[in-house]
Amino acid sequence: LQQRRGLRLSAPAAIQVTVRDALNQALDEELERDERVFLLGEEVAQYDGAYKISRGLWKKYGDKRIIDTPISEMGFAGIAVGAAMVWLRPVCEFMTFNFSMQAIDQVINSAAKSCYMSAGFISVPIVFRGPNGTSAGVAAQHSQCFAAWYGHCPGLKVVSPWSAEDAKGLLKASIRDDNPVVMLESELLYGVPFEMSEQAQSKEFVIPIGKAKIERQGTHVTLVAHSRPVGHCMEAAAVLSKEGVECEVINLRTIRPMDIETVEASVVKTNHLVTVEGGWPQFGVGAEICARIMEGPAFNYLDAPAVRVTGADVPMPYAKILEDNSIPQVKDIVFAVKKVLNI
């Protein structure tokens, strides 16, 4: 009616939401929507989660849906996989994905391979989620990225959100998926607020697994990243724009299956590629992207070799100055772009 009268309608209401609150919202909505969904992990119930992702859920849904477990990753991951095999939908939280190495046999041999080994008879609709990659001041055993580790394995889907919308939409899609999904979150992003659109505030908002997002349009070089480094790429693109270099920033969102088509289309347009990740260089996500580009039709459009920006090839140091120099910074991305453009 207002449109017929020629009145200007206000824009849809967007709000600021932290990644932590977006994850909490997604869990709450899926627990409410489907009684088969339950959450288990260390301190997820009475303590509201080590990072407060599950805040308020135990009081709302009780002991049967929000389950505190002993400090035994292999044990509770195995319980979760078994529950998924009988068509419950567990969300298994690792306090950090570094601890998932205690349960990697359950994640790979029990969850990832069962559908194939049973000729499709056994599905395992489970989500393994928690903080991944660099934290702050927690040294080598708590600061590594598992994107390449789990992205290597057939039978798994692997997602890696950046923004609050990514976190909510990908978690809801992961819970609804009939396959095992590994969701790699960033502890350093939990408290960061992002704008969430009116559409993303809907209870039915999901982001399709396997689809990247172009966060910034550009014409000179393609930057591809996932998780926290997407933000670094956006900052680097803003710096470079002042010097006349327009970067196209792709938020990969999903590690497996990888949306290489979106990357290819961008490379065809920009003729240059830089990949950015917090993980180690050898056999990393960037190495896979570069190989796929080299093997595909976009290779013929490259005007220079692709360049990778990665974490240093060392266990994470404890000292802050060494830690800062072991992970990609905005200046490293700017340097890489200038190198690939020969400026």
| CA angle, 16 then 278 then 107, to 5° | 90
- What per-residue string of b and e applies to 94-129 under the rule 16 or more CB within 10 Å gives b? bbbbbbbbebbebbbebbbbbbeeeeeeebbbbbbb
Residues with Cβ within 8 Å of 46's Cβ and at least 6 positions away in sequence, in order, are 58, 68
Element (H, E) at 58: helix 57-61
- Annotated catalytic residue, options 30, 42, 142, 185: 142
In the annotation, is 142 catalytic?
Answer: yes
Separation of alpha carbons 126 and 121, rounded Å: 16
The count of other CB atoms within 10 Å of the CB of residue 201 is 17
Per-residue tokens: 147: 């994107």
Q: What are the tokens at 118? A: 């049973």
With residue 75 as reference, give the H or E element that holds it.
Answer: helix 73-85
> Which parts of 181-250 fold into alpha helices (H)?
229-241
Please report where in the chains the tokens 């598992």 appear, as a residue: 146
232 is catalytic: no
Pairing type for strands 37-41 and 66-68 reads parallel
Looking at 30, 42, 73, 264, which residue is catalytic? 73
Q: What is the DSSP string of 246-268?
A: -EEEEE--EEES--HHHHHHHHH
CA 159 to chain centre: 4
Q: How far is CA 167 from CA 28, 128, 185, 191, 330, in A?
A: 13, 14, 8, 12, 23
Residue 251 in tokens: 């938020």
Peptide bond into 281 cis (omega under 30): no
Lookup: tokens for 116: 């194939």
Residues labelled as active-site residues? 73, 142
